[in-house]
Structure 1
Amino acid sequence: MSTARTVLVIGGGAAGNAATVFLRRAGIAVDLIEAKDDWNATAGSGITLQGNALRVLRELGVWDQVKASGFGFGSVGITTPDGTVLHVARDLRTGGDDLPATVGMQRPRLQRILIDAVRDSGASVRLGTTAEILGQDADGVSVRFSDGSEGRYDLVVAADGLGSATRAAIGIGDKPEPTGMAIWRVAAPRPAGVIRTDLAYGGPAYIAGYCPTGDTTLYAYVVEANRDRASIPPETYADEMRRLASAYGGHWPDITEHITDPAKVNYTWFDRLLVEGSWHRGRVVLAGDAAHCCPPTLAQGAALSLEDAWVLARLLTASDTWDDALFQAYYERRVARVRPVVEASVQIGRWQLDGVRDADVPGLMGRTMTMLRELP
């Protein structure tokens, strides 16, 4: 492949950052633009990375930093609302036996690791910048940037998130749909006894859980039915989450006492998205949340986005011809893996919303996670 080829990556999240690093490693010139001035370097509380995400991060060359920054563990506990442990299940190592089943880490730390990898790759980065697709032909895409400058690229990778403006601009009408649930998240100090994820079902929320993210940190979350966001003033976020969390026992009282700053509490609806048919129009290709999104009931959002970047980059760097057939092959390869994860993630939440008590949640989770052990 000619190293003269150029790619524009729109969006500096997991998919965009990973795609940039993989393409630069192959000698392809990459410009990455990100709408946020701070490159999302401080956003979010924590993230749960399953083994298939760790596998891609190892391919990116950042596994050592991730391992040093996060907290690895291999099981999940199921508890009653009062904290009584009912069952501890061993997590499947979806990334292979040489990687932990799960690593929890602070989301801003992961983003900084990926930012450093992009910087080290030699890619051109422009922050606080958006792009408009002016037009395209069989050979490339013309783009105008928000600062008035223009460029032309052999390919545009639209990794600009769930509300992707690029997705809409190229005529893909799919939009995220709320599933009926919402989640409160917060980062907090980690009690010494928290060495894995524990999930409590029941109580005033559908799920109350936490995940260790380092030697001294964790992130905690409470899942409830979604509410009109306009009815919840941001200054009350800590009060609202603390009210829900205070009903739970075990390690929760130690966590709840630190839910005091509303600016550190995040409230988000669960959404579902799966773009059907293809993830491209001409030479503009979707990746990550721009193409698919699912509730975090299987903790697979970031993993699937990272996998998109890995698969797309491998296809691009292995072919001298970038055409509809290649982009459709990317879609077909990814949708076969993404669809069951999206459907399972939504189904688990639907069972809870509908109060189905005999649902085979362990079986569905086990089948889905076993599938993810295979290489994407």
Structure 2
Amino acid sequence: MPSRTLMLFPEPPYPLHGGGALRSAGLLAYFARHAPVDAILFREAGAEDPRDAIPAGLVRCSLLIDLPAHSKGTGARALRNLDRARRGVPPLVDRFAGCEDQIARFCRGLRWDTAVIEHFWCAPYRPLLARHASRVVLDLHNVESVLYERCSTEHGWPVSAFYRRFARRCRAIEREQLGRFDLVLAASAADASRARAIAPGSRVEVYPNTIPSREAPRTSRRRQIIFSGNFEYDPNKAAAVWFGRMIWPLIHRRHPDLEWVLLGRNPEAVRGAVGGLPNVRLTGPVPDALPELARSLAAVVPLRSGSGTRIKILEAWSAGAPVVSTTVGVEGLPREGVLTADTPAAFAGAVERLVGSPELREDMALRAQKLFQENFTWEKGWNVLGRIGL
């Protein structure tokens, strides 16, 4: 009899926009190879039905939970987070809480071999799903306490104090929850070690971030470098601001014809900080990032906070774009195909090396594509899941 799986997605796995969706979709596709998966999904107010974007044959039965509307304005968000800090509830844990009754009605009378909860934010639903599944798995996209702690270093007071408060609360929830899962999946060996240290005795296995295998687009290089991501996500936003203020002026001074492309969702989050800089282009979201990556001289990953591993680097490798990254940006990934730099001068110098050397660019691109194909495709990730016993 085919194994039956239930998956809970706070973020929709499709369309394949962003690292979270790509990781979740890879797991969904793995389980659906054996039998269609049952799914619980959430929808933001005014958004389209996320089930319409899921390819046919992957999901059998589903529950869609509509989240209450809330303003994304700065003032409204600050008030919400002030209340969350007072109550000691991390923002996304709070956002996806309170849906026990809907989930219980959906699960009534049903039984699954495996239930998978995507993201730490929904870990509190474990006891409910454990009543209906032989085992419950938590897929940690990040170690959330580390993410908040690192974000606190990017901001001054009082924002830094909020981040530290949420980091402590995430650490407490991680300590309480991780050991109760039958299995926890982490995106890297570093994250797995952190999770085990937080919750000794937890069964934590590494399931690396992966993306679908595709042939690199055939295109000529342009005089551009690229940074891709969702710019509403605080580590990406802070990285864009830091690069724009501290690094781009150094590069532009020596290469005035070079363009810096920012590709991804929510460009308005950084437009005020970088939109007025010379030779900067904000594309907004695009259906397919790989062609823009493939025609770039380098992909830059100037992250100074974050957790997990960066799918933006895997996409650059897949497209044949050499990468310049900070140490935090490349954390958890092999260093082949990446030049690493952590100061503005060193980062600018690494970009200039790639801009000025076609031989270095192509050598790094070939090594990175080989590394990607051998380790970071969905199929390679599925082999890991099989060895883990899923």
- TM (norm. structure 1) is 0.35
Higher strand share: 1
Higher helix share: 2
Task: Using CA pairs under 8 Å that are at least 6 residues apart, name the structure with larger relative contact order, 1 or 2.
Answer: 1
